[in-house]
Structure 1
């Protein structure tokens, strides 16, 4: 049996869904098993999320303009992106295909959408602002002071951290699992440390102001540009319309039909092939019940872990930035924001707090660097493997033979690009380019998810929310382009 889906790609083979117990090798999925085995892709997404937006763009905007008029943008962005993530995960779990491969099923076909999607992801993230910002933090840790303008050493540290990402993936048996474990440690440490520091130093009135800002509808503050606000919207939670580039981890985690499709193994793992095309399930009573179980796991992973973590990840750094602004009597700039909080806290509370804040900042930015760098390689590998029979013959069915050489090439390119601009300017560029995806992919996702087996199809109101993604993030991208080439459509 096969299930036709879209154009220009083979029909999906049809076989039964696995049970969660079969995939995660446990007798039952209880609370302990849920967080020990089933939760995972959300942590990788959250590791990326608590970084460029939460440590750089959010605190930069709040530090310059306050919470009111900015906070609601954060909340709306996080809600819309979490819904969008769930819809991406729906497709991956129902078909075992990563989104970049699924786009090839949308008319006119893969020859347009697959290479274009790879180009957009790489073009958006190859600027390497997250890596350059992490390098600034390492420099400050080594020298005990913030780096001077234009210093070369922070860029060398950024390159060294890219090499560390390569080593982490190379040492893994299963790349996705290595990223999960790394993010369990980093994200857990980041949120606990931020919570303790905030409880220790941030006045309660700033806590209330930050929380109130999320729920206070107000015009954006005077002076903030559409590019700044669009960057904040784009990198709150994850990467707006380009979030799909991380959702392929549901395949590698083994969610639903991803268990039948394969995964990218590390160099320490055994040889593991990935299906060139997807596989789905029949519409019968048993599989309908199993689909509901998998969908509940997606909802727990995305709303219970990703959304909650993303909101905490934005609240805790932004109120800390607001406190740092009050302490220093200054406002952060693009050049100073990666180390601004550490410098302000160090002046007020001593060298130990300076070092602790720097370590925290490096961890936050490195978790982003780890996820984004690996994802660019992953998306390109999945796309090339699925669409090129010649490549599959050349690598003899082992995706690692493309994955690791391409990672080295990308590392070299990013090492050159990070010399071209200030780190935060690079991040703002990436964030606004992420909003470009909101003009394209929500509609492609609606097309694909409407053609899944009936139990897996999205309801009508899911499509309404995807259209809201298009309107919200698409507005910021159009305004960003207008601002880039001349005059913005809207000023505040």
Structure 2
């Protein structure tokens, strides 16, 4: 009788079981193609960055950035946008590095860091829910839909109608995920359409409407170091830093899509299916690769694809997504002589340009606003559900209750969260809620860069970061951490630094 050899394992951290060892798949095997060329790159490889970009272009690029520029101009604001986007893209790569190398999503990875899963997994799920449950992203989308349907901005006594539209869009997110075979793929395809349409239409509108002097002011503002403008609050500036690009220290909550996409060891660990996709188990413990020449070569290929997805798609898209709405807002402010407020910023540009450029421009920009804010709503709402669902396997008891089928947790939790958000979004105006969420994102930068250093330094040698990557993670801690501390000081009394 042949003796059965035990599976080889790779211990990583504490508390969680060791990772199994297996070979990395080739990109061709993972994506089911013969070769990875430009067509395959667009059709099969690019994807997680689009989901992140769909979230990014909403709250930060359509609301917080234009509001800050509309009130204070580009000087002293633009460099915060650029530095935030660069640091966040580096941070995203480091979060995704762990996912690609192990097939484990970050919320489970944190459980390998002392003191262990009993603390970090529930704490991390709670932080994400607490940061985003305010629902400002949903309420803003509801404002846009109201204006699109009624041909005008909602009056103060019609706020409740905008909330009903926001709730209807939450239900639409549920329908999209339920109708999908593979939820991540449905989100990718939705964002291909929405993000592509948004960037193309805004580029054309800006080229037709915005004077070149405003373009130059916007571009130069991104690279001109200057003190923040007088009068901008710690809350405004911190929110702009936090929600430029994505969600600063909490960006990891979206990087789990690299597992579902099948990047690297994500191909070995599974993905969450929709109700039409049939049952598919998702491994509770990840898999990593042995340190040998073949796997080292394959890792380099996967890492290059990750860099294309993050720097070539996410970073470029995030910068365009911030530049195009802000120069348009700057032009609208100059035309109207008015400044956007937290209450009016979701529909300010469309309402301002209507008298000069006609009803067609009004409805076009309202439609773009709805697409932008719905892409954010789709990504954030689904990601909140996903993070808690991904955290569930850390509990053996919960894993048994759902019989290893994530959908048994995913959809009931989504319905519960929908009801809670429907209540919470009644508490404040949308942009005020978003400013709170953005500053809570900066809180994550005080913690998770150091957890990443712990995890990534223990990966197989080929996948470990270079020394300067750790320096970038510390810069994330310093930059976004400063804005969070200043926000807290402003919230409880006086900010540490005033502008």
| Residue aligning to 2:349 | 341
TM-score (norm 1): 0.99
Q: Which residue of 2 aligns with 1:269?
A: 277
Provide the C-alpha distance between the structure 2 equivalents of 1:40 and 1:199, rounded to a whole number of angstroms: 28
Q: What is the SS of the residue equivalent to 1:13?
A: strand
Secondary structure (helix, strand or coil) at the match of 2:445 reads: helix
**Matching residue within 79, 83, 105 for 2:112:** 105
Give the alignment of 1:216-255 within 5 angstroms. Answer: 216-255=224-263
Distance 1:394 1:316 in 2: 48
**1:435-474 deviation digits (Å, cap 9, x = unpaired):** 0000000000000000000000011100000000000000
Q: Which residue of 2 is the match for residue 465 of structure 1?
A: 472
Q: Report Cα offsets for 1:27-48 as digits up to 9, x if no partner.
A: 0001110111000000000000
Shift of 1:129: 0.4
Counterpart position of 2:73: 66
Contact kept, 8 Å, 1:81 with 1:469, in 2: the verdict is yes
Q: Please say if 1:126 is aligned against 2:133.
A: yes
Residue of structure 1 equivalent to 2:306: 298
8 Å contact from structure 1 (residues 69, 213) kept in 2: yes
Deviations 1:235-293 (A, max 9, x none): 00000000000000000000000000010000010211011111100000100000000
- Secondary structure of the residue aligned to 1:274 is coil
Task: Extract unaligned runs of 5+ from structure 1.
Answer: none
Does residue 148 of structure 2 align to residue 149 of structure 1? Answer: no
1:56 equivalent in alignment to 2:63: yes
Matched, 1:360 2:363: no
1:46 aligns with 2:53: yes
Displacement, 1:141?
A: 1.0
The DSSP-based 3-state class of the residue aligned with 1:439 is coil
Structure 1 residue 233: Cα displacement: 0.3
Give, in angstroms, the shift of residue 373 of structure 1.
0.2
Matched, 1:31 2:51: no
Query: Are residue 410 (structure 1) and residue 417 (structure 2) matched?
Result: yes
Where do 5+ consecutive residues of structure 2 fail to align? 1-7
Tell me the CA shift for residue 180 of structure 1. 0.2
What SS is found at the alignment partner of 1:51?
A: helix
After TM superposition, the structure 1 = structure 2 runs for residues 87-236 of structure 1, keeping only pairs within 5 Å, are: 87-150=94-157, 151-236=159-244
Could you tell me how far 1:80 is from its partner in structure 2? 0.1
TM-superposed deviation, 1:71: 0.2
* Aligned-partner Cα distance in 1 for 2:394–2:85: 33
Deviation at 1:393, TM superposition (A): 1.7
Deviation at 1:143, TM superposition (A): 1.1
In structure 1, distance between residues paired with 2:271 and 2:219: 40
Q: Which residue is 2:445 aligned to?
A: 438
- Residue 389 of structure 1 deviates from its aligned partner by 1.5
Cα separation, 1, equivalents of 2:195 and 2:434: 20
Structure 1 runs of 4+ with >2 Å offset: none
> 1:320 corresponds to which residue?
328
Is 2:487 aligned against 1:476?
no
- Whether the 8 Å contact between 1:71 and 1:210 is mirrored in structure 2 is yes
Distance (Å, rounded) in 1 between the aligned partners of 2:220 and 2:25: 44
Rounded to whole Å, the distance in 1 between the matches of 2:391 and 2:364 is 41
Paired residue for 1:371, among 379, 386, 400? Answer: 379
Alpha-carbon distance between aligned partners in 2 of 1:438 and 1:215, rounded to the nearest angstrom: 23
* Counterpart Cα distance in 2 of 1:339 and 1:290: 48
- 1:286 and 2:286 correspond: no
| Paired residues of 1:327 and 1:348 also in contact (CA < 8 A) | no
Are the aligned partners of 1:80 and 1:469 in contact in 2 as well (CA < 8 Å)? yes
- 1:67–1:210 contact (8 Å) kept in structure 2: yes
Contact 1:48/1:238 (<8 A) preserved: yes
Provide the TM-score with structure 2 as the length reference: 0.98
Q: Does 1:425 align with 2:435?
A: no
Q: Aligned partners of 1:180 and 1:140: how far apart in 2?
A: 27
Q: Of residues 348, 351, 356 in structure 1, which corresponds to 2:359?
A: 351
